[in-house]
Amino acid sequence: MELLPLVALLLGVQVAIHDLYARRVSNRGLLLATGVALVALAWQWMMAGRGFPGTHLLGFALGLLSLLPFYAIGWMGAGDVKYFAVLGLLLGAAPLLPIWIIASLLAGAHAMCVIVARRIVPALSHGALSTDSSGPVSRRLQPVVAQWRHARQGRVGIPYAAYLALASLWWVLQQHFGGAA
C-alpha cells in the first residue's frame, strides 16, 4: 500500500473514534496528514517523476468547496469540511463522490435512528440516560453518560466526519485489497 492511502486509513480511524466520542475533529491530525501529503506529493512530482499531482490538489479544492456551503449555513461543523478537503488531498478527486454518498447515507440512517428512538423509546432521551435518574440501569450508565457529555462540551449533532471516515476506510480497503469490503 502506498503512503497516502495508508495516511488516509490512519487518519480515518483517528477521526472516526474522536468524532463519535467527542463530536470533534482534531486539527493536529488534519495538519499532520496535510503536511505528510504535501511532502509526499512534492517528492513524487519532483524526484520520482510521477507527474504533477493535479488530481490530489483538485480533490482538496473539491472537498473544501463542496461542503463549505453546509458549514456556512450551520448544517455542518468546520472539522467535517476540513477533513473532507484533506481526504481529497490524500486520495485525489475521484473517490470523493462515493465517499460522500456513503457518508451521507450513514448520517441519514443515524438521524432516522435518533428520531425514531426519541419517539418510540423516550427513556433514551429522558429517563434511562438521564444523569438524575435513579433506576438500576441508569445508575450504571451515569458515569459513562457523564463522561460523554463532558467530552462533547455541549456539542450535539450527527458525527458526519466519522461517517466520512468510515466511508473512506471502506473505499481505501476496497481499492487496495480488492473485492467487496
Whether 132 shows a pLDDT value over 70: the answer reads no
More confident residue, 127 or 161: 161
Question: Predicted confidence band at 179 (pLDDT cuts at 50, 70, 90)?
Answer: low
Whether 122 shows a pLDDT value over 70: the answer reads no
Predicted local distance difference test score (pLDDT) of residue 181: 46
Whether 115 shows a pLDDT value over 70: the answer reads yes
Question: Predicted confidence band at 92 (pLDDT cuts at 50, 70, 90)?
Answer: very high
Predicted local distance difference test score (pLDDT) of residue 178: 79
Predicted local distance difference test score (pLDDT) of residue 28: 97
Predicted local distance difference test score (pLDDT) of residue 70: 97
Alpha carbon distances (Å) from 67 to 74, 83, 132, 166: 11, 10, 38, 17
Who contacts 37 (Cβ-Cβ below 8 Å, separation ≥6)? 4, 7, 56, 86, 89, 90
